[in-house]
Amino acid sequence: MTTIDLSTPTPTPGSLLAALPRRVALTLPELQLVAARAGGAPLPFDVTEPGDVPALENRLGVSRGTTEDRAYLTAVASLHDPAATLARRGLLVDDVLDEGVAGAVGLLATPTYAVEIDVAVGDVQVKAWHRAAAGAVATLATSDGIVFELAWFPASAWPAELDRVGVLPEDLSLRESRVPAYVDLPYELADAAVEAAAGGRTDLLPVLTSQHEGAVRDAAGRTVPAAEVTGLLQALGAETQGRLRVLVADVSREQTTVVGVRSWVLLADGWRTLHPHHDGSTTRVRLATVDPADLAADLAPVLSDIVLPGIVS
């Protein structure tokens, strides 16, 4: 049994290479074997026995049809013996697990802070789990529940790792958006507009606009004309092609505490961050253009509550 000592903070890297993230790709059977060899460390998602199809839906938070479930089970069953493949790659030598891999899986199981990331672009969904403690971070990510990327690095490298989260596929076509780079509007209006567009009821948008006359503002705080509001509401519903959601929690105590949530939406020209706020008794939301490299900075107000090095100065 491998013993993982997480009581001592990771020492400051002595060189640039030592500070770089280390990554390994692991199949689900390899990851399960690694977790078992790392003292039975629990993984940050539910793993079910083969054949338990309904639970597979819960594991990654996506629904699969029967055909997809069977294809998934077939793919997992066809993978090679995990002990042999880990040994071939030098991650399991003389039945001893690689120290870095063992430590990373151990950190995933015993963190102080947890960051859950869910990204969906088109038909592709990626789930990622970031775990931090004592100046170190371990991450696990997958897009199919079969192959996972395990990485570990000092917390100072976390912002750069977060920059990777929102990088868009190279084959995704972007175009000019009809939604301004910045707009502030009532949450009720944004929600109703998206629902109307999704239901094909764009005829309701002028009605919604009139119900919230003068409530939509630009970056300078000026009221957006009603004619423009109807157009941007229609675009907001029609252009949406992806989302990004990040949940930050303090898991150091018996009772998990959610520290904050950040959401992005992918429109025709790229990402917009959604910042809810209150204006008196009205809940409003600000939509502002962001790049993938802005995620760490966008999370800073949330992470400032837990003061993680490398994120909050």
- For a pLDDT cut of 90, what percent of the chain falls above it? 58
Both 221 and 249 in one domain: the answer is yes
Residues 158 and 204 in one domain: no
Q: Are residues 132 and 224 in the same domain?
A: no
Mean pLDDT of the chain: 83
pTM over 0.85: no
61 conformational bin, left if phi > 0, alpha if psi -120 to 50, beta if neither: left
Q: In this predicted model, what pLDDT tens digit does every residue of 291-311 receive, in sequence order?
A: 999 999 998 887 765 545 445
* Interval 84-127: pLDDT, tens: 999 999 999 998 999 999 999 999 999 999 999 999 998 899 99
Pick 72 or 211 by higher pLDDT.
211
Are residues 159 and 87 both part of a single domain? yes
Residue 308 within a domain? no
Kind and range of the H or E run holding 149: strand 147-154
Note whether residue 269 is domain-resident.
yes
Tell whether 313 is covered by a domain. Answer: no
26 and 158 co-located in one domain = yes
Per-residue pLDDT, 6: 33
| Same domain as 201, residue 242 | yes
CA-CA distance, 188 to 60, in Å (whole number)? 30
Does 157 lie in the same domain as 186? Answer: no
Is residue 173 one of the residues assigned to a domain? no
Say if 12 falls within a structural domain: no
Using alpha carbons, select from 170, 216, 225 the residue that is nearest to residue 189: 216
Mean pLDDT of 182-201: 90
User: Does residue 63 fall inside a structural domain?
Assistant: yes
Domain boundaries, position 79:
20-163
Residues 289 and 203 placed together within one structural domain of the fold: yes
